Amino acid sequence: MNAARVAQCYCAGILVADHLCTPIDHLPRAGELVLAQRLPLEIGGCAANAAIGLARLGIDVAVVGQVGQDPFGRFVVEQLQQHGVQTQHVRTAAEPTSGTLIINVQGEDRRFIHSIGANGTLRAEVLDFPELEQARVLFIGGYRLMPQLVAEELGPQLERLRQQGVRVVLDVVIPDEQDHWSQVAPLLPLVDVFLPNRDEAQALTGREDPVEQARRLQRQGAGTVVITCGDQGAVLCTAETCVRLGTFPVEYVGGTGSGDAFTAGYIYGMLQGKDPIQCAVLGSAMGASCVRGVGATETLFDRQELEQFVQQHPLEITPV
């Protein structure tokens, strides 16, 4: 384990072993064998992906979460450590390490088959340690894909940390059509930045337009809301402004982890003192770097690459 020290950002939430295929030309029919060029094993999960992105950008970052007592758990921890992420707050659970089977078909969005595993017993008490009160940002990644991480227990932890000056960034993963609003709404007044994608925001608000989604979430108490919209860019709303952001011109290979890369870029901007729009531009650029590869972290920009890319490629920003 890495030596304990206070990180600038703690990424708490889902840790996953991703089992991927490089893009295939069609989904196999029952009994059919389809060939893929590679079947890589990659680290995944919102907390892990965002942490690795931040580490690539030179940020001192730690992960808070759980893995199983199995080879996949060791793989996840070793990958985090190899990227320079602190892992002293990664616990070992009796359940197996969470896994996702990610199927990439040429010209189509990804398909996911997920096992919750060790993430299923993660509770808000994992945030109760003194170093966290000295951090600048706490990111909760994959909320609602951890059944025992509930608003009744998480809310008091977030309130305590915000009183210590820690800024809270939250994203969600919504796996079904249950009522998730009752578990998300009470937390929004305690969140500085909320980062759902358009489908997740629609599931929460019942609205299709991302601008309406963002404004509904703000009325519930969220500070800044960013709705990521895939190849249609993003919508950002603060108390003062609301804008649409375009997309950067990159070759698309796979979308796995692009939202987490956006989060890493956004948090990097926060730590650099950037305003919300500048943070979202950095997030968009990190997301663009991610989609150039199959896995969630293999093609992420480092700090120099990110700053050069943003300087060389102006991003369209339109008030709404």
Residue (of 285, 305, 294, 234) closest to 56 by Cα position: 305
Task: Provide the residue type at 4 as one letter.
Answer: A
Given a cut of 50, is residue 245 above it in pLDDT? yes
Distance, in Å, from the CA atom of 236 to the CA atom of 229, rounded to the nearest integer, reads 11
Indicate the DSSP class of residue 131.
G
Output the pTM of the full model: 0.94
User: Which of the four pLDDT bands, split at 50, 70 and 90, describes residue 2?
Assistant: very low
Determine the distance from the C-alpha atom of residue 303 to the mean position of all C-alpha atoms in its chain, rounded to a whole number. Answer: 18
Q: Find where tokens 């070992």 sit.
A: 92
pLDDT per residue over 143-172, tens digit each? 999 999 999 999 999 999 999 999 999 999
pLDDT per residue over 176-227, tens digit each? 878 899 999 999 999 999 999 999 999 999 999 999 999 999 999 999 999 9
Token pair for 219: 């009325």
Angle at 127 between CA 159 and CA 300, to 5 degrees: 105
Distance, in Å, from the CA atom of 238 to the CA atom of 280, rounded to the nearest integer, reads 12
9-16+45-96+119-319 folds as: UDP-N-acetylmuramoyl-L-alanine:D-glutamate ligase (3.40.1190)
Q: How many CB atoms lie within 10 A of CB 28?
A: 11
Q: Are strands 167-172 and 137-143 parallel, antiparallel or unpaired?
A: parallel
Q: What are phi and psi of 103, to 5 degrees?
A: -105, 120
Angle at 84 between CA 171 and CA 275, to 5 degrees: 45
Given a cut of 50, is residue 173 above it in pLDDT? yes
Residue 237, pLDDT score: 97
Distance, in Å, from the CA atom of 282 to the CA atom of 245, rounded to the nearest integer, reads 11
Question: Which residues make beta-bridge pairs with 44?
Answer: 16
| In the chain, domain spans | 9-16+45-96+119-319
